[in-house]
Structure 1
Amino acid sequence: MDKPAEMFGRDFEWGELTRFATLPGPRATLGVVSGRRRQGKTFLLDALTRAGGGFMFTATETTETDALRQFGEALARYRGQPTPFRFGHWDEAVTELMRIASPGGPTVAVIDEFPFLAKASPALPSIIQRALDPTAQHTNTPVRLLLCGSALSFMGRFLAGNAPLRGRAGLELVVPTLDFRLAAEFWEITDPHTALLTNAIVGGTPAYRREFAQGDTPTGPGDFDAWVTRAVLNPARLLFREARYLLAEEPELHDTALYHSVLAAIAAGNAARGGIADYLGRKATDLAHPLSVLQDVGMIAHEADAFRRNRSAYRIAEPLVAFYHAVMRPAWGDLERPGRAPEVWHRAQPTFRGRVVAPHFKRICREWARWHASPETHGGQVTRVAGGTVNDPSAKTRHEVDVAVHGENGDGREALLAIGEAKWNDVMGMGHLERLRHIRTLLTARGAATDTTRLECYSSAGFTDELRRLADDDPRIQLIDPLRLYHGD
């Protein structure tokens, strides 16, 4: 199956889906597709069924009886029958679904938004499991059944532990957001600095450009502020309320006020559970459940410290949510009044640069170090990248390391290949390099680093001439600017 010309990227996902769809063999097989909302899962699956002549049913949030009626009507249309199927229960519906393939070859059958059906009919996963049992396969045709859902907490439990379909799926595909390089290409932004700023707001969610911004993109540095006010802070545009809707659409988030408060605390710079609790005026133990739920639904990420395994930090995983809580939520009353966006945006500049762009830039730098930098840049093959803190006993302080690169240095053992500092809008010079050298000395004394551990400076504003001269003569000093982030290794 040829990938549709209008489909951007997704080569890996399309390849896996088409491989599954054309698997030879007479038996029915199961695949599961998941991912956060707005990533193009439905677009992918619709293209797959159209390319292969398959069946696709998109569920809605309704009762079991109504869902069976809708499913029977859709299946009858696909089979070319003049009257719809009248299924009394899902046993009948699944049995009929497993018969749609011709003996000559496999046929794809997609059930999109499957969590809606399972919520109304909790026995449905068990019914599908029974239909896939070897004892029932003699009545099946070679159907390639794909179940798709955006409710990450449900989809995570779907194939875990003692779940009925555990071990039944021949495909478990997660459709991710576009990484920062692909996102810039998708948004057709050629200026790296503008691409970074845009990514700090909308991330790599494809729908935000086409459906939500309706193709409106910042044309360059001079258009970025105007684009924010007309496309993001404009109450008539879809992006304006999207961050609120993302939480409202998650079935696991019952007390949305609490979850919004937790996200606001993280957006304000509180990365540890204790800091979040202090911000909200609650006990740290009270936040175990909301933090766990937000992590399960993909709203936040919980990242271990690179040097202290008993220490970790929370961050908001969806840039638009971080932008909403840092910039939009505090000024929501003003923003709802047409024409106030430019004034609000002007006031919010320090917050945007400090609480949104700066931490996002650090995350992009870690992503580049992990997935885009060459082994020659770090001096070895990378195995993990994270941020971390290093104690300085003599100075009675701690130093933050924005980028800590671990990997194999040639002898097969893990080593600290590089440490780096990331600064947004700061020209980096000798002071930043000396700070990294001091941290390397502290880590070397602990046996965690060596003299060959590289020092990396990440800056969107550039570097002093003295620092550039040193880096030109010493490969252990690496300078990374936005142009290298987007186009170099």
Structure 2
Amino acid sequence: MNELRESILAVGTADPEAAVSVHALLGSDPALLARAGTLPRTRAEVPDWVKAGFLRPDSPFLELFAGGVAAALGEEPDESVDKILAAATVRPRTRYDLRAQTGLSEADLDAILPVLADAGLLRPDPNPLEPDDPFWTMDDRFARFHYAMLHQHLPRWRRGYITEKLWRLTKARFDRYVCRPEFNRLAREWALNDPAAAETTRITVPDPRFRQMRSLELAVWDEKGGLLALGTVRWRFQMVERQLKRLRYVKRLLGDPPARLYCVASRVDAAIAEDPDPGLFVITPAQLLRRGRGEAPDPAPQGAAAAADAAAEPSPDTLSDKARNAPESTPEGDLHPISRLVGGRNRRVG
């Protein structure tokens, strides 16, 4: 159930954000990690590591990632494939989204999407409100980095004359389209630790009043299709209060079910941390990577794995009744409003 978490911990980087960033590019493949040399120890070291290893002409991974799509397909991608994969890199897309973004016909998508899925480039993720129209999501690390960072400026990256300038222009894309999807997947996997959870998904909800679609990165469902929780995820930057307001607004659009609310971020506004709602939980990257006490770690864990095991969670049997409604890996203190202050000391409740 926690394959992604264990894979990220296997990277061996203690800083959670640095570990997610490295894993978003290389996974936990020992050969790729060895080829990458010294890994970044903190999130602040990631930009220089990416530039040196992936974006300079003499870097070990530039051509590997530039040719990743062709290697997966067995041929160079044509313009239609480029359009679809570039659109899916920005965010998961329904078929309607893909038609609108690419200008391709339904028949074109019928022919291309299965090929991309068979090649491991895209995967159809569940769309709970429209089960017959899945979210087509980027599923290949090489392709994701290629379309996020390399595709538009590949000749310039290869020449290497303006690497620093190109990085300044594209570094936001690295966070948004390379690291954030990995972090979203980790948050969904973490939410499955709730014993009642059967599935976690992205969700897109129609807003008739403003004639818009409202999207959330995390929705948790039980085996009967009931909504257990909704969550909003913020990678790297501080989560602001308007994101919590948006989360509650989407909950109201769904009929205001008795669902928990998750704010997943490294840092949050004081207004979120001090919110008295007992159904609101602030979750940090370190908590997403933390093992429960009942989970046996691998022998002699290193790096992030060792740090996570040092703070392993108690069994759900030892928690209060309110705590049993939260995922097993949720720290006890998160159930008390005061303890939701980032960096605050956990308090046992119940």
Q: Does TM, normalized by the shorter one, top 0.5?
A: yes
Mapping for residues 143-162 of structure 1, pairs under 5 Å:
none
Higher relative contact order (CA 8 A, sep 6+): 2
Other-structure match for 1:477: 280
Other-structure match for 2:307: none
The one of 105, 128, 135 aligned to 1:313: 135
Displacement of 1:188 in angstroms is 1.9
Other-structure match for 2:24: 200
The one of 234, 239, 243 aligned to 1:432: 243
Other-structure match for 1:257: 78
Other-structure match for 2:68: 246
Displacement of 1:207 in angstroms is 3.0
Deviation beyond 6 Å, 4+ runs, structure 1: none
> Is the 1:235–1:336 contact (alpha carbons within 8 Å) kept by the matching residues of 2?
yes
1:239-263 Cα shifts (integer Å, max 9, x gaps): 212234433334x544533434432
> Is the 2:8–2:19 contact (alpha carbons within 8 Å) kept by the matching residues of 1?
yes
Residue 456 (structure 1) aligned with residue 262 (structure 2) = yes
The one of 10, 33, 44 aligned to 1:209: 33
Structure 2 residues not aligned, in runs of 5+ = 292-328, 330-350
Other-structure match for 1:352: 174
Distance in structure 2 (CA, Å) of the matches to 1:436 and 1:264: 28
The one of 183, 190, 201 aligned to 1:368: 190
Give the letter aligned to residue 427 of structure 1: Q
1:398-424 Cα shifts (integer Å, max 9, x gaps): 22121110125xxxx442110111122
Distance 1:428 1:255, change over 3 A: closer
Displacement of 1:269 in angstroms is 4.2
1:424-469 Cα shifts (integer Å, max 9, x gaps): 244334433333223223323xxxx632x11111113x12233223
Other-structure match for 1:55: none
SS at 2:57's partner residue?
coil
1:273-332 Cα shifts (integer Å, max 9, x gaps): 344344444323212222111101211111121222233221111223111111111111
Displacement of 1:202 in angstroms is 2.6
The one of 382, 392, 409 aligned to 2:197: 382
Other-structure match for 1:441: 252
> Is the 2:92–2:138 contact (alpha carbons within 8 Å) kept by the matching residues of 1?
no
Distance in structure 2 (CA, Å) of the matches to 1:245 and 1:260: 13
> Is the 2:16–2:285 contact (alpha carbons within 8 Å) kept by the matching residues of 1?
yes
Other-structure match for 2:343: none
Other-structure match for 2:227: 416
Other-structure match for 1:184: 8
When the two chains are superposed, the root-mean-square deviation of aligned CA atoms in Å is: 2.7
Distance in structure 1 (CA, Å) of the matches to 2:163 and 2:281: 40
Displacement of 1:394 in angstroms is 3.3
1:148-167 Cα shifts (integer Å, max 9, x gaps): xxxxxxxxxxxxxxxxxxxx
TM-score by length of structure 1 reads: 0.54
Distance in structure 2 (CA, Å) of the matches to 1:216 and 1:235: 19
Give the letter aligned to residue 281 of structure 2: Q
Distance in structure 2 (CA, Å) of the matches to 1:387 and 1:238: 34
Which structure has more strand as a fraction of its residues?
1
The one of 273, 282, 300 aligned to 2:104: 282
> Is the 2:232–2:264 contact (alpha carbons within 8 Å) kept by the matching residues of 1?
yes
> Is the 1:179–1:204 contact (alpha carbons within 8 Å) kept by the matching residues of 2?
no
TM-score by length of structure 2 reads: 0.73
SS at 2:227's partner residue?
strand
Q: Report % sequence identity.
A: 23
Which structure would you say has the larger Rg?
1
Structure 1 residues not aligned, in runs of 5+ = 1-177
> Is the 2:201–2:217 contact (alpha carbons within 8 Å) kept by the matching residues of 1?
yes
Distance 1:465 1:312, change over 3 A: same
Distance in structure 2 (CA, Å) of the matches to 1:296 and 1:285: 18
> Is the 1:419–1:456 contact (alpha carbons within 8 Å) kept by the matching residues of 2?
yes
Displacement of 1:199 in angstroms is 2.6
Distance in structure 1 (CA, Å) of the matches to 2:30 and 2:110: 32
